[in-house]
Chain A
Amino acid sequence: MRWNVIVGVANIGLLGLAAPLGAHHAFSAEFDIEKPLTIEGKLVKWDMINPHSWFHIEVTAEDGTVVPWEVEGGSPNELIRNGVTKNTVEIGIMLTIEGYRAKDGTEKAVGRNFVLADGARLFLGGSGQRAGGNGR
C-alpha cells in the first residue's frame, strides 16, 4: 500500500490540541535525557511534516501484546540534510530507533537516530539529535 507522506506549513496549532505546545527547543520540558531507550517495531505510519516528523511504530512485547509508540523526529529539511527522504523508510518495515523517553510516561519518545541493518546510525535531526549528540 502506498503510504501518504505529508509536508505541511509549519504551524503547531494545526496538529490539534493534543500536540505538544512547549517551546520548540525545550527538549527537557518533554523528554528525559536520563531515559535513553531503543524502540524496535513495525513502522505503520510516518508523517514527514513541519515542525516535527512523527514515526508511528508498533512494538510487540514478548507476551504478544502490541503497543503503539510515537517517536518524534526533526523537520523535513533536517531529515533530508541527514539523508532521510520520503523513500528512505517504507511502511511495514521493522525499524530500530534510539532516543529518549517522554516525561509524561506515555509511549512517546524523541528519536535521535535509526539503527540500520549493518549497525550504522541514520540521524533524525531535531531536538533528539541536538540533546543526544551522535551516540558515540
Chain B
Amino acid sequence: MRYQRKVVATVSVAVISGLLAVPIAMAQETEYLPLRTAEGAPDFNGIWQAINTAHWDIEPHGASKGTVPDLGALDAMPGGLGVVEGGEIPYQPEALARRNENFANRLYRDPAIKCYLPGVPRATYMPYPFQIIQSEAHVMILHQFAGAVRTVYMTDHTEAPADSWMGWSNGRWDGDTLIIETDGFNGMTWFDRAGNFHSGGLRVVERISARSAETLNYEVTLEDPTVFTRPWTIRMPLYRRVEPDAELMEFRCVEFVEDLIYGHLRKLPER
C-alpha cells in the first residue's frame, strides 16, 4: 500500500511538472528554422494573407458606423487594437489635421475605392491574399487586389527611375530576415481606409521572417519627414493560405469603377 502511494505520488509530481512545463515552453519564443530554397535562403514561397483590421484603420479603433448607409452593418468598421507600435502615428500637427479631414471625407478621397494601386504596406494587409515567388535575383509579390505587383530587386540595386503607386523595392537578406527597402512613391496612396496618409517622400523598410511553417513575422518601419515627427513601426503576423487549392483570383477592379469615375459623362440615362 505504502509503495503504491509512493508511486502514485511520484507519477503525479512528474505529470504535474510536465503539464506546468508545457505552457512555459510555449510562452518562450522558440527559434523556428525555416525550410530553405535551393539557393539556401528561407523559403517564403506561397500564398499569404493578413488577418486583422489594419486595412480599416492601422491605429487602435472601436467599432463605428460606415459611410454607405445602404450597406448598414456590413460597411461598419469593426473594432481593432491597431498595429502601430505605441498606438498613435506620430503626425506633425498640420498632417494630423489633414488626416482627420481625410477620415471625414474618406468615401470621396480613399484612392483604393477607384482601384488605384494601394501602395506599400497597405497592399500587404488588405483583406485579399498575395503570393510570394522567390528567386535569387528577385522576390515577386503578387497581390490579388487590382493585380498589383511588386518586384523586389535582390541583386541589382538601383534608384527608382520613376515614381509609382507601389514604389521601387530593393531587398537583401540579413541572416534569415528578408529586408525590403522601398521608396519612389507617388504620394497618392493611403495606409488604410481611415485616411492615414503619407507623401511621395515616404521610405518603407519591411522585415519579414519565418515564425512557423505557416506564419511569418512582418514588421514595417515608415519614414516621411514632411508628414511625421519621427520614424514609426507597424507589426503583424502573416498567415499562409494552406488549402490545397489556394490561388489568387483575378480582380480587375478598374471595370467595376467605371460608372463611379465616368458615369457623369453618360449621354444616356444610367442603365
Report A's interface with B, CB cutoff 8 A. 2, 4-9, 13-14, 48, 76, 79-80, 85-87
Q: Which of B23-31, B156-164, B174-182 contacts A (4 or more CB under 8 A)?
A: B156-164
A-side interface mostly: loop
B116 in contact (CB, < 8 A): yes
Separation of A93 and B201 alpha carbons in the complex (Å)? 22
Q: How far is the CB of A45 from chain B (nearest CB, A)?
A: 14
Contact between chains at A4 and B200 (CB < 8 Å): yes
B3 in contact (CB, < 8 A): no
Report B's interface with A, CB cutoff 8 A. 116-117, 159-165, 184, 186-188, 200-201, 254, 261-262
Contact between chains at B162 and A48 (CB < 8 Å): yes
Contact between chains at B117 and A86 (CB < 8 Å): no
Contact between chains at B161 and A86 (CB < 8 Å): yes
Contact between chains at B163 and A86 (CB < 8 Å): yes
Q: Which single member of A5, A9, A14, A80 contacts B117 (CB below 8 Å)? A: A9
Contact between chains at B159 and A7 (CB < 8 Å): no
Contact between chains at A9 and B116 (CB < 8 Å): yes
Contact between chains at A6 and B186 (CB < 8 Å): yes
Look across to chain B and name the residue whose beta carbon is closest to the beta carbon of A87. B159
Residue from B163, B188, B261, B262 having most chain A Cβ neighbours under 10 A: B163
Which residues of B are found within 8 Å of A2, using beta-carbon distances? 201
**Can you offer 16 A-B residue contacts whose CB atoms are under 8 A?**
A4-B187, A5-B162, A5-B163, A6-B163, A6-B186, A8-B186, A9-B165, A14-B261, A48-B163, A76-B161, A79-B162, A85-B159, A85-B161, A86-B160, A86-B162, A87-B161
